[in-house]
A = this chain, B = another copy of it.
């Protein structure tokens, strides 16, 4: 596996663009378009929030036939809580894009991110789609990554080259999201492209599997959005024998590459969490089962008290014990070890006699890794988050004003 440049447009047969349509007041890019040269096999994973934004409903509908050739995304307006008119507008985004590209409307997927409860400025959106179509190019991945940002401080993009059955396969991805990020697909958009040849069912299996181990283990503020979306388009042009089963070495190799790209993106998302000063990895070891492992990891990663302690470089392990204790995971408190990096803070549920100054220095590590050994089984899970700083409050108190 080799990391390569170019993000989504590192994959042959993929063009992208990101332009300023005027949805945001600032002179920044706010509309992205991703297009494949041929209809691609497509799969998606969407928000579990029961207040679902209109574009998510359109995506689910269009993916009932699992091919797609374009994704159009606007930032600045979420098109959520917008009723009938919101649904019409989401469909209209697909229609206009399909017309511009001379493809079927059902092959266009739609995303929106930004403020909830306002109707889309459709004149600007339509004009923007025309501009984006003209701007499409095989180096446009970076522009697209920029155009989907909201409170993100920088664009997020990753790509790898792997080998499957002797053929070179590329996988690229972009993502956005730094607030309202939490379990189960929170305010987070990510678009992945690949030239692997794979059938739609296996592609969906791979995507769901990888999302469960990456995006769904990312948490910034426990809130989850109405718009979350991960979509993958597979053009099939790599020349590998079609992957038709999740019980195959080719599948495993593809998943490994996809997992790598998504993990890179997830780390970028956590590191860019609103107000974040540190990327934090919470590793639960020897949990009784996967459910317990996730519960314990989430309780630590989402605890405001733990997150403020990390911000303050304070090895306040009592808060970590408190967090796993409230998680509902099964373990014996007096069997638990807690490590900061490789340094033991807690031995058998009590103070290890560690040196406070040395512990403080370990918060300079990137990432800050908190490992909790529950000694209750053999399941391990890693979750990603960030610390909680003054800037989290500033960003979220000022977002609309």
Contacts and interface: CB of A to CB of B under 8 A. Distances in A.
Interface in A280-330: 302-305, 308-309, 311-312, 314, 316-319, 321-326, 328
Query: Which secondary structure characterizes the binding site on chain A?
Result: loop
Given A51-B324, A117-B350, 8 more contacts: A50-B326, A80-B321, A116-B322, A226-B325, A304-B396, A305-B396, A309-B397, A388-B393
A90 to B, nearest CB: 15
Nearest to A225: B322
A377 interface: no
A48 B326 CA distance: 7
A102 interface: no
B222 A303 contact: yes
Interface of A: 48-52, 78, 80-83, 115-118, 179-180, 182, 184, 221-226, 302-305, 308-309, 311-312, 314, 316-319, 321-326, 328, 331, 333-334, 346, 348-351, 388-390, 392-394, 396-401
A305 B179 CA distance: 8
A397 B180 contact: no
Contacts of A50: 325-326, 328, 331, 333
A397 B81 contact: no
A399 B314 CA distance: 9
Contacts of A393: 308, 311, 388-390, 392-393
Contacts of A182: 326
A137 B211 CA distance: 62
B312 A78 contact: no
A401 B315 CA distance: 11
A334 B397 contact: no
5 contacts: A50-B326, A50-B331, A116-B321, A222-B303, A226-B322
